Structure 1
């Protein structure tokens, strides 16, 4: 009897470990991949965006890889927040009209462009202090059917400029410039669109 119990325990342990190793990454559908130098070493690093198409919210994952001189890549940062899910209220809910436009790399800066139903968001990240930190945020969107709100926030300096324009008019009202110092700067892993009034 003891032998049967021991064998059953061994088999149970074996199958439990086998199931763990067979679990695949649910983010298996590639949306985009871009290359460019992110750490100023003259090598083309890469950023990949993948989606979990099984999950009812359709979440995305952005992963950043640094290249080395041998042509290999090392994962440096991963975010499942910086790109809002495709179905924020589930597949049976309404679509928000918001979606990823593109990812670009310019002058060692990673730029995530996000389209709104009536506007646009842009987040800029630089690799510094061992992390990808948010250094810039800009937005332009309809605040109501008549007013366009434009925001430019340089998180490195803390300078935040906000403008209001009337649809169909060249008239622009510039609100008083604010200095908002955020330290430490937000990391890409923690930045989530629409969850913060500042960025």
Structure 2
């Protein structure tokens, strides 16, 4: 009887330990770590981007820590959606040309920067209304046939400006189009995923 109880105890303990280790955070490779004041309290907040290089898609995790007066940091946002995985279709799958390359803090604005095969794009977030809200999106890309297109979308004002310009020997003049697109409420960083809408 004692042997059966001992066996059950060992079996249950090992099962619980296996579950615990399988749920352990695998985002252990640090990609980027920066400091800067995000909430205008004159304290340097902390942004850390890590990656899970074990999973086939090699996803990224973005952590936002707000500095506390006692010198510690409080984690307020942790998301794996704000930055596309390195391999969206898996390491052996189709490569879409998007790749994360930087994150910055300038004048309180958090910017996530990505490269394209023929261009780049950025998403800008500001701490306001007790949240990090998307306030800007910009994109520059070539169609591979002599035309460069740029998009600048100020989500705060709703002004979206699109420009197309030939970069070959054509004498074609640049074309510009401006639209007013009000998006309310503004997208929040913890819920945000790039290119889930046609606008950003």
| TM-score, normalised with respect to structure 2 | 0.89
Q: Aligned partners of 1:24 and 1:118: how far apart in 2?
A: 37
Match of 2:162 in 1: 162
CA contact (8 A) 2:112 2:124 kept: yes
CA distance, structure 1, for counterparts of residue 188 and residue 12 of structure 2: 39
- RMSD, aligned CA: 2.0
Q: TM-score, normalised by structure 1?
A: 0.89
Alpha-carbon distance, 1:16 to partner: 4.3
- Partner in structure 2 of residue 40 of structure 1: 40
**Is the Cα–Cα contact under 8 Å of residues 77 and 132 in structure 1 kept in the other structure?**
no
In structure 1, stretches of 5+ residues that fail to align are none
Q: 1:87: which partner in 2?
A: 87
3-state SS of the aligned residue for 1:24? coil
Q: Which structure 2 segments of 5+ residues have no match?
A: none
Show the counterpart of 1:152.
Answer: 152
Deviations 1:128-181 (A, max 9, x none): 222211011111111352221111111111111111111236831011x21111
Tell me the distance in 1 between the aligned counterparts of 2:4 and 2:154: 65
Asked if the contact 1:102–1:113 (Cα under 8 Å) also holds between the matched residues in 2, the reply is: yes
Equivalent residues, number: 197
| Pairwise CA distance, 1:190 | 2.5
The alignment partner of 1:189 has SS state of helix
Moved more, 145-154 or 40-49: 145-154
Residue 64 of structure 1 corresponds to 64
